[in-house]
Structures are given as C-alpha cells and as structure tokens.
C-alpha cells in the first residue's frame, strides 16, 4: 500500500501535520487521544484506498481538520420548525 509507513515528511503521504496528545488537549479535543493527523491540502482521509483521482472529488465536506487552518473554517446555519431558537 502506498501509505504504509508514511510519515509527515514522506512525499505525497497526504499528512499535513501530526498533532501530539498535548496539542490535542490544548485545542479541546479528545483527552484520551495520543495523536491526530491533519490532512495535507487537497487531501482527505477515508476508509480504504481508491487510487489517484482523475476528477474532482464528490465529497464537499469532511471533519477532522486542525481548527487553526483558516481555509477549513466554515459557517453552518440551520433553520426549521424543529430547530430551537
């Protein structure tokens, strides 16, 4: 598999940043996590390996990015009869 044994410094690994337990806790993340991976730009993490994409990815959103990345910040507005004011 092309990602087996990949590290942050491996070219084309898709790993933008490895967050330590202390960094995760400081960001308010899971206090039991020992590490977290932040995907490199133009990369998403998912189950399985699908090979190289030859067209734009259909997925428009994904969770699990470092909240410090300005390009990943977004707004969510919800409106409806069952949404409390």
pLDDT tens figures, 12-24: 778 888 889 998 8
Predicted TM-score (pTM) of the model is: 0.57
Question: Measured between alpha carbons, how far is 72 from 78 in angstroms, rounded to an integer?
Answer: 19
Question: Measured between alpha carbons, how far is 81 from 46 in angstroms, rounded to an integer?
Answer: 34
Residues in the chain: 85
pLDDT for the residue 4? 45
- Does residue 3 surpass a pLDDT of 50? no
Nearest in space to 37 (alpha carbons), one of 51, 56, 16: 16
Structural domain including 61 reads 1-85
How many folded domains does the chain comprise?
1
pLDDT for the residue 53? 63
Q: How confident is the model at residue 57 (pLDDT cuts 50, 70, 90)?
A: low
């Amino acid at each position: 598999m092309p990602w087996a044994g990949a590290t942050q410094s491996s070219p084309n690994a898709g790993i933008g940043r490895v967050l330590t337990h202390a960094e995760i806790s400081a960001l308010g993340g899971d206090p039991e996590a020992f590490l977290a991976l932040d995907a490199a730009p133009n990369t998403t993490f998912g189950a399985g390996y699908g090979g190289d994409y030859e067209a734009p990815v259909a997925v428009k959103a994904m969770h699990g990015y470092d909240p410090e990345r300005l390009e990943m910040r977004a707004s969510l507005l919800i409106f409806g009869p069952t949404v409390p004011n």
